[in-house]
Structure 1
Amino acid sequence: MSDEALKVQCTDGDWQLAGPAAGGFGLVNDFLGYLADRNYSPQTRRAYAFDLLAFARWLHGEGVALDEVDTDVLLRFLTACREAVLPGRPGGNVFSIRDGRNVGYAPTTINRRLAAISAMFAFRQMRDPGTRNPAPSGRHARSVSRTPRTGLLAHVAKPRSRSPLRLREPRRLPRGLTARESTELLASFRTWRDRAIAGLMLLSGLRSAEVLGLDVRDVDIARRWVRVIGKGDKERRVPIDHDVAGAIQTYLLVERPETDASALFVVAKGPNRGQRLSAAGLRTIFRYHRGKAGVPAGHPHALRHSFGTALAEAGVDLSVIQALMGHDHVDSSAAYIHLAPSYLREEFDAARSRLRART
């Protein structure tokens, strides 16, 4: 099936399926409109749109209508995702050193798609109680995870129900950059805008969406604070480094184009000059500088991980790390302790010294 038969387009902030075959997937667009009515963020609605686009394209290629989807169809879709040959993966007996796979999407991607599909059919069932959600759900179709959380508050966490229509996800520690990688990546940025963006991620721990969502009024350069709207529309205030504050000030005074846009970071040139910098534009910037600096791991989120690791190595309290990084649960912050080898080594050596003193 040609990709032009079904595609995602954004019109005035509304994400919808479009193309010649979109008429058969009105439920998808109704569901995306429902998410907008519930005030889901544009990034979340975009993610749902592309996950459901993958499902719609597969259904169209298989000749299956949305009304004909049952659990068996979903299992076939799961298998297709696991066996798909992706660009850059030759398949056969060639396996990736990074994740050990030679075909198929990552379990996280597949589970996210299945969750979007389940939510869409739950919306249909809410709207029309006579229909059935083909995704296994309910008390009898779910299994309960005995250890949904680990760490300090595991004993008070409530068990989470898990659908059997999901893949097991390997738990990997987030990867930050080494000091050398961070230095080389930052040195490759030439504009004050790009330096300020990278600095907010590396030295204040902001997510990509949080940086792109900043308005000029959110930054207090004199007091070195920035107001951040994070996941779930949660607001927090984060201190910023002296050098980053200076980069932002220089960018605003010297480099930022004249525009009526409220956005802090805007496109510097081209037909979209003066408009808010998009996620695609940010990815393009980092893709170019990763290659220029020779730091293939230099993704935006790696800078945030580096910030969390630096805080853990400095012995910062977990509650402070949680507040600075905008984590909902302290377990997310505790993961960075595992990324701080010097901190772990110091604690291990101190414990061994205490044990030797007892004997």
Structure 2
Amino acid sequence: MDTLPLVEGRGRPSGLSGATAQGVSVRVQQRLQEDGSTLVELLDEDGTPVEVVAGFLRFLGARDCSPNTLIAYAYDLRHLWRFFASRGLSWERFGPPDAIALLEYLRSVPSRRPRRRMTLSVVTMAADGPATKLAGSTVNRILAAVSSFYEYAILSGLLERANPIEKRPDPALLYVSERHRPFMGRASRQRPVRRAVRVKTVQRVPRPLDDGQVELLLGQLRGLRDRAIVLLMLHGGLRPGEVLGLHLDDLAYGRRRVVVRHRDDHPKGVRSKSRVERVVDLHETATLAAVSAYVMNERPDDADTRLVFLIGGRGTRRLEALGYDGLVRMFSRACTRAGIREPWVTPHALRHTHATAMWEGGMRELTLQKRLGHASPESTRLYTQVSDPAVVADYHRALDALGKPVEGRS
């Protein structure tokens, strides 16, 4: 079996509580197996796979979770095992009181990832210099992963006590309109709960590109392929993985639509996030015209794959499928040339731009949810916070009642 390069985690413990853990080489390893699947393992300080975590990851794999999901869980549990090393604990002895200590520990762990936040960040001192702390959302995700791990241990009979990451009923969530509710409402056995140990986080609104930024970006794209990719995300709201996974058979020029299908056989590991296939209508003529121009004039005609977007040119990687890394590099370089390079300007921001434009244009919430392929209405409601016509209308009525002029309204 071929071994892939090890991917470093999101941060190493430091400070008083994590000093001992820094010397513990608990790490995540990814190995490519003969059948093409990826084996993800958490290795202890002796280089031996942690068996209980291996069982948990096999369980996730049996549920058909993506390799990226398995890798994320492995790195989250690496934090837990480093916490065990700093406290002299084992996973069997970890209890609810230790969950509070775990939260404090995670709040002191430095993150080595480049900062993408546009806000002030808390800095902690690590052994090799200052570093920013893990984001609150990252800490909550790690706690959720730990909770899922212990749910697995209980389900498999390895643990005969309650989940140490305690969950408490929260009836108040029944009355929050923005929350997704069970199909049977209050008659359902699914009760709203909240983890007792968690970090309060900021619910940020999506940041769409303005018209000027979009025009600058489109003006700096080089090649028909790049323009087709960007327009599919900008005018169709497709996710990057959905664009990269398109096959020639998914393009319906006559009906002016593309079909987003769930596939897991992309040679670069690209997957669509949703398992619900959908049809996306594209009635803006420039979009499918750009795709057709690329397929007819620039896409290598000697390719033996049905994937739409390939690497062209004359290099050694010619005819290979375009992957996430290639798309991100293309997008970043175009943004740099356009002078709009910002941490929040990512390929996914094009999807935010499309969704915001559709909402402000009057598309209903349910139809927008279907178009974007959101499983939960909560995800779609984020765009109602960018601009809510009902709020604007009430605001105008209030200004009228106060006798104040409304700018921009005839």
- For this structure pair, what is the TM-score category when the shorter chain's length is used for normalisation? 0.7 to 0.9
- Aligned AA (1:9): Q
1:98-247 equivalences in 2 (<5 Å): 98-99=119-120, 101-102=122-123, 103-132=132-161, 134-137=163-166, 141-144=167-170, 146-147=172-173, 149-151=176-178, 160-229=192-261, 231-240=273-282, 241-247=284-290
| 1:260 and 2:304 matched | yes
- Aligned AA (1:218): D
Q: What do the CA deviations read for 1:282-301 (whole angstroms, capped 9, x no partner)?
A: 33333333333222132122
| 1:77 and 2:102 matched | yes
Counterpart-to-counterpart distance in 2, 1:178 and 1:203: 14
What SS does the corresponding residue of 1:142 show, helix, strand or coil?
strand
Q: What do the CA deviations read for 1:12-65 (whole angstroms, capped 9, x no partner)?
A: 232402667452422222222211211223443343333334444555676654
Counterpart-to-counterpart distance in 1, 2:306 and 2:78: 32
**Alignment identity in percent?**
27
**Range with bigger deviation, 200-209 or 254-263:** 254-263
Instruction: Point out where structure 1 has 5 or more consecutive residues left out of the alignment.
Output: 91-95
Instruction: Point out where structure 2 has 5 or more consecutive residues left out of the alignment.
Output: 1-21, 124-131, 262-271, 404-410
Counterpart-to-counterpart distance in 1, 2:82 and 2:360: 46
Contact 1:312 1:343 in 2 (8 A): no
Counterpart-to-counterpart distance in 2, 1:320 and 1:163: 32
Q: What do the CA deviations read for 1:211-268 (whole angstroms, capped 9, x no partner)?
A: 2332232222332211124544111100123222122222223333443334332344
Contact 1:7 1:17 in 2 (8 A): yes
Q: In structure 2, do the counterparts of structure 1 residues 9 and 201 end up closer, same or farther at CA, with 3 Å as the change threshold?
A: same
Contact 1:145 1:162 in 2 (8 A): no
**Range with bigger deviation, 323-332 or 195-204:** 323-332
Q: In structure 2, do the counterparts of structure 1 residues 3 and 225 end up closer, same or farther at CA, with 3 Å as the change threshold?
A: farther
> Could you tell me how far 1:277 is from its partner in structure 2?
2.9
CA RMSD of aligned residues (A): 3.5
Q: What do the CA deviations read for 1:152-207 (whole angstroms, capped 9, x no partner)?
A: 98899656211112222222211111111222223222122222222121111112
Query: 1:278 maps to which residue?
Result: 323
What SS does the corresponding residue of 2:165 show, helix, strand or coil?
coil
> Could you tell me how far 1:79 is from its partner in structure 2?
2.2
Q: In structure 2, do the counterparts of structure 1 residues 151 and 61 end up closer, same or farther at CA, with 3 Å as the change threshold?
A: closer
Q: In structure 2, do the counterparts of structure 1 residues 215 and 163 end up closer, same or farther at CA, with 3 Å as the change threshold?
A: same
What SS does the corresponding residue of 2:173 show, helix, strand or coil?
coil
What SS does the corresponding residue of 1:233 show, helix, strand or coil?
coil
Contact 2:42 2:49 in 1 (8 A): no
Query: 1:248 maps to which residue?
Result: 291
**TM-score computed with the length of structure 2 as normaliser:** 0.72
Query: 1:36 maps to which residue?
Result: 61
Query: 1:93 maps to which residue?
Result: none
Counterpart-to-counterpart distance in 2, 1:218 and 1:3: 49
